[in-house]
Structure 1
């Protein structure tokens, strides 16, 4: 069954002969397996093509609607949620604003409201979810506890699996947001096909997510990529150059600072250009540390500053290249503020796929309603 499911995933409806060829099995064997998968709800039979001579072909497709996954991005000022079918097609979405100073209780309420909004938008209840993934800033343990978070108030120590496990379906995964953004870039962004990738999430704060041989690398305790903790490099002070730029309107929200400064630099404002120059200098120090450690094929710059890549890349390249033995390939994310939530969806889908393709385990139950 596993081979037959693999052969159908991501494909248009196909006939038994083509399916047998893709699966490397005989046509009678595949026909029997297809009947079994039809019976348990993982395949659907598509009406035969019209206008054919002779006996019409039987056509089958994978039922992507047999289950759904939920992805959630817990940000400083918002919580985003996506519900997708098992082919990654978006069925529902929601964004809930939260205050930057919100504590644990208020932020968890935002997470719940965003998830509920996405499910409502999809016309589904949580019982249809096969897996959920929550992306959050900070160091995350394998058990789903935020071991350390300096960006979100009262967030250190929160047990996200314990808090949300009973509400988001049978499986709740928790992962660092930078790591998830790296997954999203390889899935739907500028890093398609890249095996060794460093993703730098830069905005209100800066962090890195790493893919090695196409797999997430979090290190022994989930702290890989936390370059900002090393005060010898400039990631901890980089945002202050933008926040301290003269000319910013009084009371500018933290999440709006980068956009305003980069826009002014684009127009040639000297103070803004100097702020961007200093920001690029400090950003380059941390990126160089990552590059010299893992030698990635590509470094992707994402987060809030990705919308200003036309202004940032030149000074960043100029400061970064002398620090590296060989200048790395650089790209700006095209996913914008969707990177983390898309990565959460991808991580949840990977979990479902591992269950679907486990030859030693029973096939998960498909929803047929």
Structure 2
């Protein structure tokens, strides 16, 4: 049998997935096979995975180049990896627009070897900027979206942007059993919360605690701050949710299917459309969401929230909860997760007042 840890060091991308795929592949050939033949298969697969690894890294560099260009033109971008081996670059506009017309349905994808995919999701408002960037690199056919990604291979890497730390892009959560998940969720200490983040991600958390409201979902987001667990919020929340798994709310399905991420603005925007808000009030939560996402400090976000609470005459109980959320969980700077959590609470209150 193949010993654990045999995979060669050069294979650094999607290590967990690569090991699983190799184990399944070798199971049909390596058991009871001649040792020399096993070595041949190992060498062949190591070469294939190393080639795949280098190809994907080159795609990542190209994606960052496009993301940087769009960022210069006022578009917010995020990039993430998933346990399935997919890489996603999400691009969306944070400028005030009619929320009814806001659309993220435009999608292009490129098939890589071994079923690894490179996906770009671009809202219609960003297509023109993307086309301009592609045209500047010798690609003029806006309908041939697969072709540009191939053409970008000829661009010298030295001219492209690549962040110094990309470890988070390649981190794939390990699989944990339901029993292990139960231990992580019900362990009333910060180590359990950190391990939950490390091993399973938000999908395991949402599935296990089954939030019953946007407020509870906002509470769940607060668990993802290992640096600020000393105030006991995470421990108290876990202790209040010791119940068996329940079916996920359909609005949470896109979040639960993501790996190793918090929440991204386009997911919140999609959830927002489902809130039973009055038509003439629908733009208010969207505007607040954009303002909070752009806020760099907890103080600025608190001012925005305070003014909105006054403008909308939010009831004292809801207003107090929202302000406490800011005060307890954003002592120095406001993370995007906290901004979104606060925005969700306010959106929910506005929708049901």
Bin the TM-score by the shorter chain. Answer: 0.3 to 0.5
Structure with more helix by fraction: 2
- The answer to which structure has the higher strand fraction is 1
Instruction: Report the TM-score, using the length of structure 1 for normalisation.
Output: 0.32
TM-score, length of structure 2 as denominator length? 0.33
